[in-house]
Amino acid sequence: MEFRLIERLRELTAQQRDDVALSIGDDAALLVPPVGQHLAIALDTLVEGVHFPHGTAAADIGWKALAVNLSDLAAMGASPAWALLGLTLPNADADFVEGFAEGFSKLARPHRLALVGGDTTRGPLAISVTVHGFVPPGQALVRSGARIGDAVLVTGTLGDAAAGLQALQQPLADDDSRANLRAFLIERLNRPMPRLSAGVALRGKASACVDVSDGLLADLGHICADSGVAAEIDAALLPRSSALMALYDEASALQFALSGGDDYELCFTVPAQRVADVQADLSRLGCGVTRIGRIVEGDGVRVRAVDGEWMTTNHAGWEHFA
């Protein structure tokens, strides 16, 4: 049964690439990295009940398992190429594999990402994906380059995924208009869109970058810690979707935007004089981008409320072992 599952995964995720000399089927893949490129590698593991709710559709799990890894490549300014998959299943569930592969391949195909190997085993439902991508030497985006005076920007909108999780856990009234808004937020939770084109566009322009996986405060805090600086952001500037603002009050929407994880947007810093150029570049890609603050002396992240006072923030974001 294991080999039938592997064969089905291979069939459903097939992708031809000239740099794959030998793919799934042998004890290891044979790959041909392009000359003059650095290899960027990232790995994420998703566990049922921790990273996605029990009962999540297999296709959504397949999409998200790949998306969270591609988001890491986006935050490095890397272009994706190959992936490895470790799939742990409670039992040999062919229907789950079919759905999982459908979601995984639907995201992989537009990026010409090839699944080149992996493993299946029995146990509690968990998925590990390792992605490999390429970035020109000296152009990788890192967390340690932010400088005092830089502007802080984010792509897309913040807080949708965390609100979607709450909507799942606490179903709201299901009249048509609110049901549509709720569905939008849940879609943002289950099928995040990695900002790969934005990451490539930020090469040579962003001074630091991170993806918002654990929450804006936590992830911007990583940039600050690695760069030896502080950040000040304005709550009034945080981009939030109309669905989020319609379903939740201002205080809840703000908390989701500051501390909610799973949005997989990019948070990055740019020298102030380059902000307009970067905003124009990302707008041409169809990616919304918003300036939300600045880099200053000190450490940590401070949030200025609408009334101009500094906010007290007790919860920065997701902590894996809290």
Residues 158 and 290 in one domain: yes
**pLDDT exceeds cutoff 70 at 196:** yes
With a cut of 50, say whether residue 318 has pLDDT above it: no
φ/ψ region of 258 (left if φ > 0, alpha if ψ in -120 to 50, else beta) reads alpha
Give phi and psi for 287, each to the nearest 5: -110, 115
Q: Are 36 and 7 members of one domain?
A: yes
First to last CA, the chain: 38
Whether 143 is covered by a domain: the verdict is no
Instruction: Quickly count: other Cβ atoms within 10 Å of residue 170's Cβ.
Output: 7
165 in the same domain as 294: yes
- Count the domains in the chain: 2
Domain match, 125 and 201 both: no
In a domain, 12, yes or no: yes
What pLDDT does residue 314 have?
A: 63
Would you say residue 3 has pLDDT above 60? no
Average pLDDT, rounded, for the chain: 91
Same domain, 94 and 172: no
- Nearest CA to 81 out of 116, 52, 125 is that of 116
Shared-domain flag, residues 104 and 197: no
Instruction: Name residues whose C-beta falls within 8 Å of residue 153's C-beta, 6 or more positions apart in sequence.
Output: 267, 268, 269, 270, 275, 278, 279, 289, 290, 291, 292
| Confidence band, pLDDT 50/70/90 cuts, at residue 144 | very high
The per-residue pLDDT for range 67-78, each reduced to its tens digit, is 999 999 999 999
Q: Are strands 126-135 and 38-47 parallel, antiparallel or unpaired?
A: antiparallel
Higher pLDDT among residues 312 and 124, named by residue? 124
Q: Please state the rounded mean pLDDT for residues 244-249.
A: 94
- pLDDT of 315 reads 54
41 is a domain residue = yes
Burial class (CB within 10 angstroms; exposed 0-12, middle 13-18, buried 19+) of 226: middle
Domain assignment of residue 235, yes or no: yes
The CATH number covering residue 185 comes to 3.90.650.10
Q: Is residue 114 part of a domain?
A: yes
- Note the pLDDT of residue 199: 98
Q: What is the H or E stretch that residue 81 is in?
A: strand 79-89
Element (H, E) at 279: helix 275-284
Q: Domain for residue 115, yes or no?
A: yes
Q: Is the dihedral of CA 318, 235, 142, 149 positive or negative?
A: negative
CATH assignment of the domain containing 120: 3.30.1330.10
pLDDT of residue 316: 54
Whether residues 180 and 121 share a domain: the answer is no
Q: Identify the pLDDT of residue 322.
A: 44
Q: Which residues span the domain enclosing 124?
A: 2-135
Shortest CA distance to 255 belongs to which of 317, 207, 300, 194? 317
Is the pLDDT assigned to residue 37 strictly greater than 90? yes
pLDDT tens-digit readout, 255-296: 999 999 899 999 999 999 999 999 999 999 999 999 999 999
Q: Is residue 317 part of a domain?
A: no
Indicate if 164 and 117 belong to the same structural domain: no
Instruction: Judge whether 144 lies within some domain.
Output: no
Q: Name residue 185's beta-bridge partners.
A: none
